[in-house]
Chain A
């Protein structure tokens, strides 16, 4: 079935370091792809999305490009801040449409000053 696999964490970086969190997917067709973020003690919230191949989603300095050839949607940020410390989830809709959203296991990021 449709699924996402993201890199295991935790990831610890110093402020202003470059961030990459890998995500690959298995899907029928070309579904939309999402990154959600969960800050401590909160629910998940949408960070960015891409709806078709070669699309780039971006928000708050984060970017991810929908790569059909490599079935990937890696999350990147050029210079992380302490406030980016959170858990990041890759997700895609399953069941051939957009009814259910399936999430990866999450990658915990800690940014130290």
Chain B
């Protein structure tokens, strides 16, 4: 089975540009999570969805960040406008059921110059 698929793997952009990160969860999984990983702050949960519905977005840093899940097989995380402090690795993860194992994608490394 294919794992969680994220794109792009690497993104370099300039401050002020819009960034869109994409995620395809594992088929049959009904929860999806977006995490951000930095050296300073470790792994932070940004937002998660159950059955395509956003449940908790309290980790989203500010209004520049938005996430959508239009269907069970696709989610996006958008940053507009991007800033250098947004540079990080962004992970998407999915889960089949409550309390189950999280399966992570390989991450999208974002560099904002």
Name A residues whose Cβ lies closer than 8 Å to a Cβ of B: 32, 36, 41-46, 49, 89, 93, 97-106
- When distances are taken between beta carbons in the complex, the residues of chain A under 8 Å from B55 are 99
Residue contact A46 to B98, C-beta cutoff 8 Å:
no
B99 proximal to A (CB < 8 A): yes
Within 8 A of A (CB), among B62-113: 91, 93, 98-107
Chain A residues near B91 (CB-CB < 8 A): 43-44
| Contact of B98 with A97 in the complex, beta carbons under 8 Å | yes
Q: Is the CB of B101 within 8 A of A46?
A: yes
Say yes or no for B12: interface residue by CB 8 A criterion: no
Could you list 18 examples of A-B contacts with CB < 8 Å? Answer: A32-B99, A36-B102, A41-B106, A42-B106, A44-B43, A44-B91, A46-B101, A46-B102, A49-B101, A97-B98, A98-B100, A99-B48, A99-B55, A99-B56, A99-B98, A102-B45, A103-B42, A105-B42
Contact check, B102 vs A101: say whether CB atoms are below 8 A apart.
yes
Interface size on B, residues (CB 8 A): 21
Distance to closest chain B CB from A60 (angstroms): 15
Q: A106 to B43, alpha carbons, bound, how many Å?
A: 8
A103 with B43: CB separation less than 8 A: yes
Given A44-B91, A101-B45, 6 new contacts (CB under 8 A): A44-B102, A46-B101, A49-B101, A100-B48, A100-B56, A104-B42
Residues on B facing A (Cβ under 8 Å): 4, 33, 42-43, 45, 48, 50, 55-56, 91, 93, 98-107
Q: Which residues of A contact B100 (CB under 8 A)?
A: 98
When chains A and B are docked, how far (Å) is the Cα of A44 from the Cα of B3? 12
Question: How many Å lie between the Cα of A11 and that of B50 in the bound state?
Answer: 37
Q: List B contacts of A42 (CB < 8 A).
A: 106-107
The answer to whether A43 and B104 touch across the interface, beta carbons within 8 angstroms, is yes
Assess the B42–A43 pair: CB atoms within 8 A: no
- Contact across chains for A100 and B45 when beta carbons are under 8 A apart: yes
- Which residues of chain B have C-beta atoms less than 8 A from A106's C-beta? 42-43
Report yes or no: A43 in contact with B48, Cβ–Cβ below 8 A.
no
A97 partner residues in chain B, CB cutoff 8 A: 98-99
Question: Which A residues are CB-close (under 8 A) to B50?
Answer: 99
Do A93 and B99 form a contact, CB below 8 Å, given A99-B48, A103-B42, A106-B43?
A: yes
